[in-house]
Homo-oligomer: A and B are copies of this chain.
Amino acid sequence: MSDIELVSATKSFGGWLKRYKHRSQVLNCEMIFAIYLPPAADENDVPLLWWLSGLTCTDENFMQKAGAQRTAAELGLAMVCPDTSPRGTDLPGEHDSYDFGSGAGFYVNATRAPWSQHYRMYDYVTDELPALLRDHFPLNGREAISGHSMGGHGALICALKNPGRYTSVSAFAPISHPMQCPWGEKALNGYLGDDQESWKAWDACELIKANGSSLALMVDQGNADNFYTDGQLQPEALSAACEEAGVPITLRMQPGYDHSYFFIASFIDDHLKYHFHHLTQ
């Protein structure tokens, strides 16, 4: 019996969007992920872009709304979207708020009970799911990573904590300094407890301060994004950390754009081409 089960297969730009469910050992629950296989994957192993989604999302939002398949098909780039938290569990308060618990795993490994039983999204997206993908799909082993908001934070920390693992990293409106914003404080306190020293391992700015980065960073941020103006995202802190550590960063402030998938769709092609360039060097 296979360890992944096909949920749906939809033809898209000559390739296939497939959704699978599988039992995650790391998360101790059943999960669904989505993978887009470009037409080139019918004949050759292809490189892979990880996309980590934001609060309240599932594996579906990016694939439905970002308009990324068109260029991924042209380039011959596979894309995978994990879900944003464990699913099917029912911990106390897990489903009560949009910014903690289900739909809000923050790509950390929880150490605090009861979350530590399931909420190990970092190990899931950097270890368990990659191994599963290698077993089942025509991938050439080259991987890049990107994401949005909470998933932009996820992409940054996955890249920063694994030098050499990804060819490139980018983010849309990432939560750049979770230790110092309301979303991050709530999540890190909930999943890790109140020892703020332990939070630093999951904060892009702190990781750059501690270890620098072997990769340049590419970030797009809309200046009409209400979460930016509310201080949840703090790209300036990321820029400052990069400058201090000598890490190259391209931070593009996009005038008039908000936090939505219309913002992502407007600039996703730039990111796909950026990653493809690095994936094929």
Instruction: Give the interface of A toward B (CB within 8 A).
Output: 10-14, 17, 64-65, 67, 69-70, 222, 224, 256-258, 260-263, 265-266, 269
> Which A-B residue pairs are the 8 nearest by beta carbons?
A67-B67, A12-B262, A11-B256, A13-B266, A10-B262, A11-B257, A64-B65, A12-B266
**How many angstroms from the CA of A266 to the CA of B39 in the assembled complex?**
13
Q: Are A10 and B70 within 8 A (Cβ)?
A: no
**How many angstroms from the CA of A266 to the CA of B258 in the assembled complex?**
26
**How many angstroms from the CA of A269 to the CA of B67 in the assembled complex?**
12
User: Closest residue of chain B to A17, judged by CB?
Assistant: B262
The minimal Cβ–Cβ distance linking A42 to chain B, given in whole angstroms, is 12
The minimal Cβ–Cβ distance linking A79 to chain B, given in whole angstroms, is 13
**How many angstroms from the CA of A11 to the CA of B258 in the assembled complex?**
7
Residues of B within 8 A of A65 (CB): 64-65
The minimal Cβ–Cβ distance linking A254 to chain B, given in whole angstroms, is 8
The minimal Cβ–Cβ distance linking A158 to chain B, given in whole angstroms, is 27
Q: Are B260 and A10 within 8 A (Cβ)?
A: yes
**How many angstroms from the CA of A69 to the CA of B265 in the assembled complex?**
9
User: Closest residue of chain B to A12, judged by CB?
Assistant: B262
